[in-house]
Amino acid sequence: MIRQLIALVLISVMLPALPASAQQETRKKKERAEEKITRMTPELLWKLGRVGNAALSSDGTHVAYTVKRYDLEDNSGTSTLFIKELTSGDTRTLVADWKSIGDVQFVPSPFGERIYLSGLSGKDEEAKPQAWSINPVDGGAYQVTDIEEGIANLKVDPTGKHLAFTVDIKLDKEVTELFEDLPKADARIIDSLMFRHWNAWHDYKFSHLHIAKLDQQGRAEEATDLMKDVRADCPVPPFGGSEQFNWSPDGSEIAYTLKDVDDWAESTNSDVFVVKVERPTTVVNISEGMEGYDNNPVYSPDGRFLAFHSMQRAGFESDRNRIMIYDRAGGEITEATGGLDQTTHGATWSPDGNQLYFTSEHHGTVQVYRVPRVGGPAKQVSNGRFNWNLIAVDSSGKKALVSYMSMLRPTELGLLNLSKGTSEKITRVNDELYRNLELPKIQQRWVEATDGKKIHCWVIYPPKFDPKKKWPLLTYCQGGPQGQIGQWFSFRWNFHLMAANDYVIVAPNRRGLPGFGREWNDQISGDWGGQAMQDILSATDDLMGENFIDPKRTGAIGASFGGYTAYWLMGNHEDRFACMISHCGVFNLESMYGSTEELFFVNWDLGGPYWESRKIQREYDQFSPHRFVKNWTTPLLVIHGQKDFRVPVTQGIEAFTAAQVEGVPSRFLYFPDEGHWVLGPQNGVLWHRVFFDWLDRYCKPTTKRKASASK
């Protein structure tokens, strides 16, 4: 986002403390007026506050956190920074209604502990995100950086002397720069793969990690590019953030993640590099020779060790994520999680450096665990039907700042007692909106698979569920294909909202999903249309056997691999389903291979290019939904975004065309400005309106069916 790194001329921009804004007061009045709402609605989903980044003060007495709220009419959102004193419970607004607030961190400074964040205040329409320093007492703020095109992924060293952040650096030339006499030429010259990724074309820039010293006034001096001339990104796109780099405790060294390989589209080989602040041109790759994902380094409190996550198998993006320990003195690497048949996330050191805390999927939830640094049995710390996320362990080592969510409610913050496993709430962001809501009921259910194994399922029942009545059923098909159906609260695939519309939902953790051991997780690779599909049908049949389910009013729904599942079931469900919905689903495995971007994914899960061998070609033929269109009779809603480069929009177009040609009732919901996910507020509400309209046509006999959109 800048064409070249320039000397930083940093101007302090003092902002007064901001009281609750008029916009907030208007919002509260609207919320009070909506107290009569008793069921979740698409519109209410977009009124919920979304808890974002959070940080714990060094003495463990205060928590700073952000909340983003959306205005449906304006089709946009703003973020507010709050601080809460944990003893008294007093909560204050520090900065309100910013366009964006990113990483949040308490940092020592000559003026006392301050809060650093990356963000965009919204005062200037031409402004870009910068680093800011906030007074936690009165909200007074000053701008720390002044980078022409803005910064991202801010992290201050523990001593408060240096900043680290990323800046997009332009290294590649556009066509009009290669041919200056053709200034109106509109084209791309492409010589290698990964020319587009997820939802964006290569913009000729690379995200580079920079460091800058802070002067006595707390402003950044001239920044140093630690990746000068490197055509690679830190963080690794598309999902990496500031967790992919960290400072040593004394601020003398920084470790970061980089995927600098020639075959980017076919490789998962990212590595962890370390560099001294005083010798920024001397970089050491500590994970060299480890061919899978290596990322997210974090130093032990005494600085002796560096922990990082690592996947062993090259090319497998969903391999078991281990925690490795690098001894900075001797250079040896050992695994702390050896023998653990689970994957790990968010490695966090205990204050004494003897233990590591992490989160891991387990039986439809995400729990907090700890393991000795030297290796040994992992012990579960948290409990309950939640997806927990570790943010920080306090200096005493007794409590951790965590976030948690469930299928019923979005993210909130809490304190987790690390010895007892009990927790206490810190935030209640959405209590007012939930005060009068009727909540669904959620139960676990274990279903026997066709091979005799047990399938874990979540079953979600509508508010005021009466087992004496007949209810329509939705079979939810998970994406991934390796992503657990846990206690998450999605703003798209929202089980609470589905149940509020009087559907029973069964969500099976079919073969291929983590949380049930590696054998269960790995089985789906090379078997997309096999046992995983049978698991979904087994779960569906089990629920359809209940007296309270009307078997003639069952729908199948899913996105990505879940969308593939819907297309697969269209030709292989034996009249179980009354209708189906596929969002960004894979329809044709051959054309998918030739148009997707991350080839390492299809190479691993599908066995390689379809032309490579007859065996692979047979598997493509056996499992590609487009081979079974002749069996299609079930009404189908196709949803796809133009900017989805993971599963290109042509997959949805092909499926809709097939349905139309075969005379199958069908509709295509097309978003020209969305990618694999629908992120715009009004687009999101439209998505749900079309989604439920389609389901209601075929699964609710009391709803008057409209004429088919295909005729």
CATH of the domain at 98: 2.40.128
| Nearest 10 degrees: Cα torsion 148, 152, 158, 163 | -20
* In the predicted structure, residue 14 carries a pLDDT above the cut 70: no
Cβ contacts of residue 667 below 8 Å, gap of 6+? 636, 637, 638, 690, 694, 709, 710
The residue segments making up the domain with residue 508 are: 439-699
Domain count, the chain: 2
pLDDT-above-90 percentage for the chain = 91
- Torsion-angle region of 85 (φ positive above 0: left; ψ -120 to 50: alpha; else: beta): beta
Q: Return the DSSP state at 220.
A: B
238-282 confidence digits (pLDDT tens): 999 999 999 999 999 999 999 999 999 999 999 999 999 999 999
* In the predicted structure, residue 28 carries a pLDDT above the cut 60: no
Confidence (pLDDT) at 701: 74
Q: Which of 146, 157, 233, 644 is catalytic?
A: 644
* In the predicted structure, residue 8 carries a pLDDT above the cut 50: no
Tell me whether residue 32 is in a domain: yes
Q: What is the CATH number of the domain that holds 550?
A: 3.40.50.1820
pLDDT-above-70 percentage for the chain = 93
Q: Which of 550, 676, 688, 696 is catalytic?
A: 676
Tell me whether residue 590 is in a domain: yes
Confidence (pLDDT) at 126: 83
Tell me whether residue 20 is in a domain: yes
Tell me whether residue 307 is in a domain: no
Tell me whether residue 625 is in a domain: yes
* In the predicted structure, residue 635 carries a pLDDT above the cut 60: yes
Kind and range of the H or E run holding 326: strand 321-327
**CA 265 – CA 315 distance, rounded (Å):** 10
277-326 confidence digits (pLDDT tens): 999 999 999 999 999 999 999 999 999 999 999 999 999 999 999 999 99
* In the predicted structure, residue 709 carries a pLDDT above the cut 50: no
Tell me whether residue 554 is in a domain: yes
Q: Which of 360, 423, 560, 582 is catalytic?
A: 560
Q: Return the DSSP state at 378.
A: -
Tell me whether residue 123 is in a domain: yes
pTM for this one?
0.92
**CA 433 – CA 96 distance, rounded (Å):** 20
Tell me whether residue 711 is in a domain: no
* In the predicted structure, residue 581 carries a pLDDT above the cut 60: yes
Confidence (pLDDT) at 112: 87
Q: Both tokens of residue 64?
A: 């700073």
Q: Is 644 one of the catalytic residues?
A: yes
Confidence (pLDDT) at 386: 98
Q: Is 560 one of the catalytic residues?
A: yes
399-426 confidence digits (pLDDT tens): 999 999 999 999 999 999 999 999 999 9
